[in-house]
Amino acid sequence: MAIKVQMPKLSDTMEEGKILKWLKKEGDKVEQGEVIAEVESDKADMELEAFDSGTLLKVVVPEGKGAGVGQVIAIIGDEGENVDDLLKENGEEKKEDKKKEKDEPKAEAEEKKDEKEEPEEKKEKHDEEPRKETLREDGVIKASPLARRMADEHGIDLKKLDGSGPEGRIVKRDIEAIMEKGVAVEEKPSVAAAEPVAETIELTGMRKAIARRMVESKSTVPHFYLTVEIDMSGVVDMRKKINEMQSENKVSFTDIMIKMAAQALLKHPKVNSYWAEDSIKRRGEINIGLAVALDDGLITPVVRNCDKKGIIQISKESKNFADRARNRKLQPEEYEGGSITISNLGMYDIEEFSAIINPPESAILATGAIVEKPVVRDGQIVVGKTMHVTMSCDHRVVDGAVGAEFLRDFKRMMEYPILTLL
């Protein structure tokens, strides 16, 4: 019996996937659990396994094309089996997507409705009688969508027009009439004319997901921000000594910040929580996300149980995650379930910035460059090394005082690393 192979949901944010490569062609035998295709999700390139054995009878979505989650991408069944009925069903599912191509645009249909509703004898009186008031009681001009669009395209002020449609509504013919009379109207320049487009870049699944998630985060998550300046002299010396003692795995400042953030979360479990609509969930692990920049976006692999690992182990894992993230080889469980995320732009000479929270996490730390500047120590002005850290918090979960206490302890641990041993 022929079965449909549907685009699977390969991440919690995935809505669409793209077929990178079919490893099987039509007519090939397929075993259950065998990899039949490579799929690009919004986070990584994944292998698609067959859930049943049989013959690959039909490839519905070719290489390079995308498909929504749940959409049929292929059909597997017995050799020689007719799949016309399944393809027809798949076609029925797509009817809604093609509706706009077959149906008349709503605006045009509405125009025709306006003209049909108005009696012919009433049209003849338009030139003899004053037009009806074109303003509604709330002051909004009565005009059809098509008329509004035409007026906007040609720079026509609707307030200066009388409507010939039902109840004084401005319709298409009113705009055409004003244009035919040669009224002094200056057409708006098109975007292309004002600013030539050098290139149109097609959106990848990752870029679409980033756009959707960031809009969702800023629209639904009430952000507030806390900033501190940290004396990094102690961490700079500590990192130098660690890397002098072992050269196999160089430790970065981000690795140290991951460890310190984990230790601070141990003291402030309220920050290690997330909003769940009808409740607040507190995580049972301390997992730190690391923002990794990619050519077409970014991804946040998660280093797990950071409170139980040393800095060198964290460094090894973070480098491995970063390398595989850039090659789009991460598995879903490796970039989900973070407590908070650290986003470091110090290597780009950015001194201070605010980051957008990565839902469902409740906080993100934005860290800048380490800058040499005059500081006061023991009443003396000396050259210090400082770094700004801005914490973005979800106010539904993290109150101001809670976030401030967490950031205060993070600052202390960074300035006095020995505190992590106490």
CA–CA dist 100, 419 (Å, integer): 64
**CA–CA dist 407, 122 (Å, integer):** 73
The CA distance from 15 to 28, in Å, is 29
Non-local (6+) Cβ contacts of 105 within 8 A are none
User: Amino acid identity, residue 108?
Assistant: E
223 included as an active-site residue: no
Of 126, 154, 223, 395, the catalytic one is 395
Cβ proximity of 151 and 143 under 8 Å? yes
CA dihedral (58, 64, 66, 69) positive or negative: positive
DSSP three-state, residue 348: helix
Q: Is the bond preceding residue 130 a cis peptide, omega within 30 degrees?
A: no
- In the numeric block, the tokens 């629209």 are attached to 219
Query: What is the DSSP secondary-structure string of 278-308?
Result: SSEEEPSS--EEE-EEETTEEE--EE--GGG
Question: Exposed/middle/buried for 129, CB within 10 Å: 0-12, 13-18, 19+?
Answer: exposed
Q: Give the span between the Cα atoms of 257 and 224, in whole angstroms.
A: 21
Distance of CA 169 to the CA centre of its chain: 41
Task: Find out whether 311 and 251 touch, Cβ atoms under 8 Å.
Answer: yes
Q: CB-based burial of residue 99 (10 Å sphere; 0-12 exposed, 13-18 middle, 19+ buried)? A: exposed
State in Å, rounded, how far the first CA of the chain is from the last one: 65
Question: Other CB atoms closer than 10 Å to residue 146's CB: what's the count?
Answer: 19
Render 383-422 in DSSP notation, one character per residue. Answer: EEEEEEEEEEEETTT--HHHHHHHHHHHHHHHH-GGGGG-
Cα gap 38→328, rounded to integer Å:
12
**Which positions are catalytic?**
395
